[in-house]
Amino acid sequence: MSQTPDPQYARRRTGGWLMAVGVVALFVSTFTVPEAIHHLARVSVDEGTGLSGRAVVTIVVGAVTLLGGGALAIAGFSWRRSAGEGPSQEDRLLDEQFGDGPVRPYDPDEFRGPRRRDPGAGD
pLDDT per position as a tens digit, 57-108? 999 999 999 999 999 999 999 988 887 776 778 888 888 887 777 667 777 7
Question: Burial code of 8-22, b = ≥16 C-beta within 10 A, e = fewer?
Answer: eeebbeebeebbeeb
pLDDT for position 1: 44
Query: Taking Cα atoms as reference points, which of 61, 63, 62, 77 lies closest to residue 23?
Result: 77
Q: Does pTM top 0.85 for this prediction?
A: no
